[in-house]
Structures are given as structure tokens and as C-alpha cells.
A = this chain, B = another copy of it.
Amino acid sequence: MGAKIIRINMTTLTSVMEAVPKEWLGLGGRGLTSTIVAREVPPACEPLGKYNKIVFAPGLLTGTAAANSGRLSAGFKSPLTGGIKESNAGGTAGLNLERLGIKAVIIEGLPEEDKWYGIHIDKHGAAIREDAGYLGKGNYELFTSIGERMGKKIGVLAVGPVGEYKMAAANISVKDPDGNIRSLGRGGGGAVMGSKKIKYITIDDAGGTGPVIADPEKFKQQARIFAKAILDHPVSGQGLPAYGTNVLINILNEAGGLPTKNFRTGRVDHPEKICGESMHDLIKERGGVISHGCHAGCLIKCSQIYVDPQGEYVTSGFEYETIWGLGCACNINDLDDIAVIDRIMDDIGIDSIEGAVLMSVAMEAGILPWGDGKGVYRLFDEEVRQGTPLGRTLGNGAGSVGRTYGLTRIPVVKNQAIPAYDPRAVKGIGITYATSPMGADHTSGYAITTNILKVGGYLDPLKKEGQVELSRNLQIATAVIDSTGLCLFVAFPNMDIPECFTAMVEMINARHGLNMTAEDVGALGRNILKTEHAFNLEAGFTSKDDRLPEFFEEAIPPHNAVWDVTGPEIDSFWNF
């Protein structure tokens, strides 16, 4: 039996299995979610209204023996940005869907009654059950409870209270192999799921036989080359496994591109208190886990299990961008404070980048003093989790906080919070923030590679020359990687080791019986980006939405760099 699509209608509370249309067969992950959203969702519709849909899709290589191939994409019209959105994460849900031969789950409509639902997917299809039992519960309690009821292997997608409230910064949480939390983080997918009154989706892969590999021998051979390249590259083979993504604190601080106190300076005065190296030593000393994978088959294992002084689990998937947001944008100088905030953000189900940056805007507004980690925890626990008036403003993101308090220093593009790299000091990432159809999103065209890490060559981060081309090439390549189900970090070896990229393409060919060339792969990436951009234009975006906030005209120390890329220069991004 071939791959199939499950279509769930929350108005009629029914589901059907559909054959995969021929033109979608060569698509997966972001390529598939963006194609379906662009085809089926009216671009100008209300993101929380009846015409929006959520699409979940494993990638083209998800669930295969390819290293780092465990990711699942979610696509929808974003209540945060008003544009098209794709988020992807590890965890077990994508692998389980792939094993069941499910190429996509499309959820549409809104329930007519004020009732909440859980969806269960297994080899027979999808069942929608009324279930208000977990309402108001955090993700940790929900994941533990479902794990106890349905077994550790169950895949789970869920929303926390933030998603129930339909707050625009709500994420969709994904159970990882240990029962902990990964996130389909950005853009408010949790609010869309909340609007459809779906508290959770469970995926039982029992009896699943996928994925079927068209050419197993070739696949095996290419997978070996691919795995070796990941292990050979210094970033994916050494830096990330040892220190996690938080290795970047010292690197960006050194580069003067670490935005501190709501983007006022490019350096923090307490890097040693929050950096990856210190975190590594602390976890080791306390008996936590330094290197840990977010899904089966991960070779990089950039995650870790952060424990408290008593050695008790606090959080995992403790990423640089979150630590930056709390440690630098909010100026909190205590890693334990930051870790418990990371945990509560996962628990209530809020994107941890948006969550951290919105707190720096709350500090800008005078709601909290700079550096008040305990205060940030309290706001998440007592305001956002409870859905108080202040909690609602916070839970709707950095733009919401800034507008509500009459600020002009609001670090957002397309209303999504700007993450951990200053666009004035690292101009390539500024182009990505400005132009990405996703809103400010470092992952969509991670120019830090070539601007800072010297992966894929080097381009002076302080000069604007060449940055549009760099960002464009990265965004096209990223659209492809986000379609494979591979972790984005395979981009590091992909950029420096030619046989790594070839192996990725050949694994796709071997998996699906295709004959894609490198050229075809580039065309796929360009097509995805253009599809997303066209959706946004139909939703009412213009080139004015491809701009950084006004305050980036201020010089940022230590380089006194300003954002000097002109409108027409930015707009040339779309000339392809």
C-alpha cells in the first residue's frame, strides 16, 4: 500500500484517508506543508478562523536509516506573522507517522461546539475523541500521563495552556524518545491547534511497516558517506556534540553580535556565567547528560539534559537562542534561573525564542527590571499560564507587548521576534530576518555559517556586500533540508564536504526511486521559497514587510555597526 494522506475535519469530526496526489509524491516536510497550505488555505483568511488548516508532514528521509532524519514539519497560516509558516522538530511523532506510511495529516475546520478533543492516529486511520481531561495541564504532565497510558513509544503532539488560549506565541510540543519535550516552536502553530480545540494528537506506529526504500543497497552506501561527513565536520562532529548550540555565546560575544538588553549592545558582561563551555562543566559536575539526541538516529546529539544542583532533571533541548534571549536580551546572569524558565516555557507551550524576547520587551516597558530571572519565571507561571490580562499580552509575543505598551523598540520582523544574532553586526542574518517568508527566523537562512563560523567560505559580517546572495543561497538550501526531515545541522558538512551533499540527494533518490540532480534540488528549494512568498503577497504582504525595525538605524557597540542595507538592495533578494 502506498503512502497516504489523512484529512481530519474538525467541523464534522470525521477523517478520511486519501491517496497522495501525483504532484505531491516528490515532496515532504516543509516542501509538502507549504504546497498544501498554499493550495488549500485562502491567504487572506483569519489565522484562527475556520479556513485555516494545519498540515503535519514528515520529511522525504524521515524514518529512514539516514543519520539525523527524524524531523516533522508543521505548516499553517501563522497567527503571529499573518503569513505562511513552517516549523519543524525532532521527537517521535514524525518517525511514527512515517512508519504508518502517512505522508501528511491535514486538519481543517473548527468544531461547532465548545468541546475539546484528542486525536488518535494508528494503522487504521485517525479517531477524534472528545477529551477535556487534560485541559489546563502543562506538557510535562500530559506527556507523562499519556506515556503511562499508551507506552513510551507513542508519538505525541500537544498544546499547553498557551495554545488553549490561542495566544500567537503558542508552540506545538512534541514528545522526544525520553518523554521530554521538543517544540514545533515558531509562529503560533499551537494557537491554530487550539483554535481547532485539539489538545493533543497521539500516534501509535504499531503494525506500521514504512518507510519502504526503493533501492536499499544504494541507500545504505550513501547513508554511510553521509554519516561519516557529519562526524568528520568540526561543527557537527565536535563543537555541537560537546557544548550544544550554546557553544555560540562566546563566539557571538567575541564577534560583537550578541544582542544584549533588547539589542542595545553586541556584547554581554557575563558570558562565562551562561556560555556552553560553562554549561558543559556544570552538567558534568552535577551528573547530567552532556550530549543527547532529540530523535532516534541522531549523530550530532547537540541536546543535553540539564540538571539542578541535586542532579534532578530540569530541562533538555536547552538551546543557544533561548539562553541568549534570557541571558543576554533580558540580561539574566544565572544559568539555573534560565533553565527553569526554559522548562516552564516548554511546559506551558510557548516558543522559547518568542518567550525570551517578549520578556526583554516587557523589561523595556518597565514591567520587570533587567535581569530579573525570578520575575520572568513568575510572569510565565502566574500570568501566562493563568491567562490573566497581562499573561494574554505576553503570550501573544514580543510585538504584542511592545504595541500594548506604546514602545518603538520592538525587535520583530513580520511580528516575529528577532533571535540571537544582531543584524547590524552580522549583516547576512539581517537579510534573512528581513526577507524570510517566515518572519525573523535565523534557521531559514543561517548566514552565521559564512559570516562567523567560516563554514562554506567567509564573508565579512560587517559589510553588506554579498550578503543578499549568501542569504538567498542559504534560504534555498534550507528549504530543501527542511523538506528532507534531516536536522538543519547537516548543512555544516553539506557546505564544506561535497560528497555529503551528493549523498543527501542520492539518499532521496534511493528512498523514493527518483533521479534528482543537484540542479533539481536547487529548483525544489527555489520553488518552495517562491510558493511561500507568493502566499504572503496574496495575504497582503509587500516589500515594506521585508524590513527591519526603525531602531536598527542606531549604532550597536562594540563595532558601532548600523543596518545600512537599503530597501532596493533587500528587495533584490527576490530576483531569482
**Residues in A lying within 8 Å of B, measured CB to CB:** 44-46, 48-49, 51, 79, 165-168, 191, 194-195, 388-390, 392-393, 396, 400, 403-408, 538-542, 544-545, 547, 549-550
In the complex, the answer to whether A396 meets B404 with C-beta atoms within 8 Å is yes
Do A403 and B406 contact each other (CB < 8 Å), given the known contacts A44-B544, A550-B51? Answer: no
Nearest B residue to A407, CB-CB:
B48
In the complex, the answer to whether B408 meets A400 with C-beta atoms within 8 Å is no
Nearest B residue to A392, CB-CB:
B404
Partner of A44, one of B168, B393, B547: B547
Question: A403: which B residues are within 8 A, CB to CB?
Answer: 168, 396, 400
Partner of A400, one of B404, B540, B544, B545: B404
Chain A interface SS verdict (over half)? loop
Question: A44: which B residues are within 8 A, CB to CB?
Answer: 544, 547
Question: A549: which B residues are within 8 A, CB to CB?
Answer: 46
Nearest B residue to A538, CB-CB:
B544
In the complex, the answer to whether B544 meets A406 with C-beta atoms within 8 Å is no
A403 to B400, CA, bound (A): 9
Q: Tell me the smallest distance from the CB of A291 to a CB of chain B, in Å.
A: 39
Partner of A539, one of B165, B393, B544: B544
Nearest B residue to A403, CB-CB:
B396
Question: A49: which B residues are within 8 A, CB to CB?
Answer: 408, 550
A113 to B84, CA, bound (A): 41
In the complex, the answer to whether A48 meets B544 with C-beta atoms within 8 Å is no
21 contacting pairs across A/B (C-beta < 8 A):
A44-B544, A46-B408, A46-B549, A46-B550, A48-B408, A49-B550, A165-B406, A166-B406, A167-B406, A168-B403, A194-B406, A195-B406, A389-B389, A389-B404, A390-B390, A392-B393, A392-B405, A393-B404, A538-B544, A539-B544, A540-B545
Q: Tell me the smallest distance from the CB of A536 to a CB of chain B, in Å.
A: 11
Partner of A48, one of B79, B406, B539: B406
Beyond A392-B405, A404-B404, 17 additional contacts (C-beta under 8 Å) are A44-B544, A44-B547, A45-B550, A46-B550, A49-B408, A166-B406, A168-B403, A191-B406, A194-B406, A388-B389, A389-B389, A389-B390, A389-B404, A400-B404, A538-B544, A540-B542, A540-B544
